[in-house]
Amino acid sequence: MNLLELRDLHVFLGASHVLQGVSFSVPEGGVTALLGRNGVGKTTTLRSIMGLAPGRGRIELGGKDVVRLPTHRIVHRGIGYVPEDRDIFAGLTVAENLRLAERNGGSRYELVWELFPMLRGHLGQRAGTLSGGEQQMVAIARALLNENRMLLVDEPTKGLAPNLVTEVARVLERAAELTTILLVEQNLSVVRRIAQDAVVLDQGRVVHAGPARELLDDPTLVRRFLGVSGGHA
């Protein structure tokens, strides 16, 4: 059963027609990777689902169209968002960043401490003074704090050291046991490790959709759609 369905989604950013009729589905459970070269519309797709880049078309979450809802109401339908540049609030403390993300009581701090035990030691620290990896943990923790039906995660390993990439992949694997994830990721080894399905965008259109391994195990497809011979897109 599909949790998220995009149908003929068009998004304009200024004069640019960034998404040109994007259609794909995300099944409930597991990780679906959204892949493609730089600038093909992956981040815009996530932002459009969040209502941050208004689009035309249909975006159905659990069978209900959310395309015209304001962002905060889309979130209350059960979507958590980890943006590309983390977008943590640098002037707030780690505790305040987490407190801001609390919704409807029942926040899952136990899960957050289980996945990111180091954050407990930095609760009073300004988030802007954390390292890049720690900031990414705060960004993911904010999304995991609530019981979401789905997480949209945009390039969580971007700019991280190799050991942190492994750590983030481990966290996402654990998160995928609890919720559905739509993941934008350039690191194909991370995609190979955690994604079951893959959707490839090119110039604002879907050019491939299917099992992730089928795509990644075929060097011709990887070269054609992602412009690399393997490893990193």
Partner 1 sequence: MLLTITGLGLGAMYFLIASGLSLIYGLMGVLNFAHGSFITVGAYATWRVQKELGGLDPLVLRFLLASLCGLAVGALFAALVELVLIRPLYQRHIEQVLVTVGLGLAVTALTSAIWTPTQQLFEVPGWLKETTTVLGARIPNDRWVEIAAALVVLGGLLAFLRFTRYGLIVRAGVENRAMVTALGIDVRRAFTLVFTIGGIAAALAGVLSGVYFGSIDPLQGTRLLIFAFIVVVIGGLGSLGGSAVAAVAVGLLQQYANYYASPGVGDLAVMLLLAVVLLVRPSGLAGLAPARAAG
Nearer to partner 1, 81 or 225 (CB): 81
Angle at 181 between CA 157 and CA 44, to 5 degrees: 70
Nearer to partner 1, 78 or 169 (CB): 78
Query: Please, what is the end-to-end C-alpha distance for the chain in angstroms?
Result: 29
Compute φ and ψ for 61, nearest 5 degrees: -110, 115
Q: How far apart are CA 83 and CA 136, in angstroms?
A: 10
Residues that bind partner 1 in the complex, under the rule CB under 8 A:
50-54, 70-72, 75-76, 81, 83, 87, 89-92, 96, 99-101, 103, 142, 146
Q: In angstroms, give the least distance from the CB of 21 to partner 1.
A: 21
Question: Angle, to 10 degrees, between the axis of helix 132-144 and the axis of helix 162-176?
Answer: 0
Cβ-based nearer residue to partner 1, 92 or 221: 92
CA of residue 50 relative to chain centroid, distance: 11
- Supply the DSSP string of 136-172, one letter for each residue: HHHHHHHHHTS--SEEEEE-TTTT--HHHHHHHHHHH
Tell which residue, 9, 69, 81, has the closest CA to residue 41.
9
Minimum CB distance to partner 1 smaller for 75 or for 199 = 75
